[in-house]
Every structure is written in structure tokens, then in C-alpha cells.
Amino acid sequence: MKCLGIIAGGGPLPGLIAAACRADNRPAFLLALKGHADPAVIEAAGLPVEWIRLGEAGSGFAHLHRAGVAEVVMIGPVRRPSLAELAPDWRTARFFARVGLKALGDDGLLRAVVGEFESEGFHVVGIDQVLANCLAPPGLYAGPPPDAQAEADIAHGVTVVQALGAVDVGQAVVVQQGLVLGVEAIEGTDQLLARCGPLARDGLGGILVKLKKPGQDRRIDLPTIGVRTVENAAAAGLRGIAIEAGGALVLGRDEIAATATRLGLFVTGIVP
């Protein structure tokens, strides 16, 4: 089996992929990003590892080649650094000089990064090619079926997220009784939910809707929910979460369902 290089950002996903590789007896190597990857997750993964800064592309490619990596998966949230934090080496500086304005948007930057890996001879794969059971299935996972108001809020949320995604803004929105309480930008879903809590209206609670962007490369940055998403949604007064079936990741479906049931939320996979 081809050696898999795991470019590790934050959260638990790098560890889940490492566990899947071990279960399949697949050789794998971790390239962990300083200031983003969780040291505890990386240590528990039990794989060969090297740590680099985001601006050390030259060293990163050299580590991957030495490890015999053939395929690469990029996973886990990465906060976009300032240029001063980046401190780019010559390889990284050359990359930014070439991509120019494409680097201003998340999608443009990520596609350019994928192209850079491919120019080095690596095959970039999506997480769903490694962890297929993490893809969101259609249908209700927990809670009561959405009622008419919830269905209307979900439909409105889909329209808003698709419009935002078309201009590379975000992947999530919170809608309550037809009103958009907040949209996701660079801050991420957890901060979106924190902002929306104080804005909630009386009556039926809002819905979090998460979709991949129109035309998004499925190998990078698929929308994701986990137990913390459910907990934060409940804390914000929401009554449900709708995610794109086949286009989003669900980390720990059984735990999510149990948490949603305990907190009184529904979670459902939708086909926009």
C-alpha cells in the first residue's frame, strides 16, 4: 500500500486517520503544523512525525520525500497566519509570489496548495477516500424530525450558504424563523454559534446549516461537525443542525446522536 502523508492541522481528525492507517496496516507519516496540530493527538497517533511551521514548505516536502510518501491528505483546521508569523522560507515565498491574488480567498489558496503538492509528485486525496465512514449520510441522526418551520429555515439556510460559498465566504449559517442570525466567515463555526446565542429571538430556536461550497474541491476543507458543535449549538439556543449528506464530515456519529438527544436537538443529513 502507498505510504500516506498526513498534513496535520488541529482537532482529532489527524488521529482518526492515523488509527485507520494502523488498522489497515498502511504505512503513514505525519507532518504536523506547529501552532495548529494538537501535540496530544499527534503523540497518541503513534506514527513517524516531523513538525514544521506553515512557512517551511521546503523542509516539509523534503520530510515527505524522505519518508517515501506517495499520497497526501490535508486535514484539520489551520488558522491563516500573518506574513510575519509565516516567516516563509524560499520555497514558500516562491509559492506566494506565483499564486498572487489567488491566495486572498480560502478556495483559491487551498487549490494552489494542492497544485504545489502535485508539482512535487504527490497525489492529494480527500479524507473521504481514507475515512469513508465519516461522510454524512442522509436522514435523521437524532431528535424529532424537523417541523414545517425548521424545514423552511433549512431551505433558507441552504440558499444563503450556497450564495456565500459561491463568493468563497463560508460554509455555515444560522437561521431562526426565517431570519439570518449569523453567517460563517474566517472565524469558524464555534465562533459563529457564540455570536448567534445573544441574538436569538423568542419562540422556536434556530437551525445551523452547513454545506460545502459550490464547486468546492472535495479533497480539501469539507464542512465538519463533532460533539462540540452540538454542545455549542445547544448553548446558543438552537434546536437543530442540518449538514450536507455526502458533502460534510461527521466525527463520531453515535456520540453526536447521543449528545443531541440529551440536549434536545435534531441532527439531520440533507441533500440540497
Give me the phi and psi of 256, to 5 degrees please.
-65, -45
Look at the chain and report how many structural domains it folds into.
2
- Residues 181, 243: one domain? yes
pLDDT in tens, 145-204: 999 999 999 999 999 999 998 888 889 999 999 999 999 988 889 999 999 999 999 999
Q: Which of 97, 129, 161 is the last residue of a domain?
A: 129
- Residues 177, 104: one domain? no
- Residues 187, 261: one domain? yes
- Residues 143, 265: one domain? yes
- Residues 110, 144: one domain? no
| CATH number of 240's domain | 3.40.140.80
- Residues 86, 141: one domain? no
- Residues 145, 252: one domain? yes
Per-residue pLDDT of the chain (272 residues; tens, 9 = 90+): 799 999 999 888 899 999 989 988 999 999 999 989 999 999 999 999 999 998 899 999 999 999 999 999 998 888 776 666 678 888 888 887 877 655 555 666 777 888 899 999 999 998 888 887 888 999 999 999 999 999 999 999 999 999 998 888 889 999 999 999 999 988 889 999 999 999 999 999 999 999 998 877 788 778 999 999 999 999 999 999 999 999 999 988 899 999 999 999 999 999 98
Q: Which domain holds residue 14?
A: 4-129
Strand partners, 179: 176
Cα distance between residue 233 and residue 108, in whole Å? 30
- Residues 121, 173: one domain? no
Q: Which of 74, 98, 129 is the last residue of a domain?
A: 129
Cα distance between residue 126 and residue 75, in whole Å? 9
Q: Which of 129, 163, 195 is the last residue of a domain?
A: 129
- Residues 231, 122: one domain? no
- Residues 115, 150: one domain? no
Order across the sheet with 123-124: list the strands. Answer: 49-52, 28-33, 4-8, 71-75, 123-124
H-assigned helices in the chain: 13-23, 39-45, 57-66, 83-86, 90-99, 106-119, 148-166, 189-196, 227-235, 253-263
Strand partners, 107: none
| CATH number of 12's domain | 3.40.50.20
The C-alpha cell 511551521 sits at 53
- Residues 168, 124: one domain? no
- Residues 149, 117: one domain? no
Order across the sheet with 139-142: list the strands. Answer: 139-142, 266-270, 240-244, 207-210, 172-176, 179-183
Query: Which 3 state secondary structure label does DSSP give 73?
Result: strand
Contacts of residue 150, Cβ cutoff 8 Å, sequence gap at least 6: 204, 207, 239, 240, 266
Contacts of residue 189, Cβ cutoff 8 Å, sequence gap at least 6: 171, 172, 208, 210, 225, 229, 232
Contacts of residue 99, Cβ cutoff 8 Å, sequence gap at least 6: 108, 109, 112
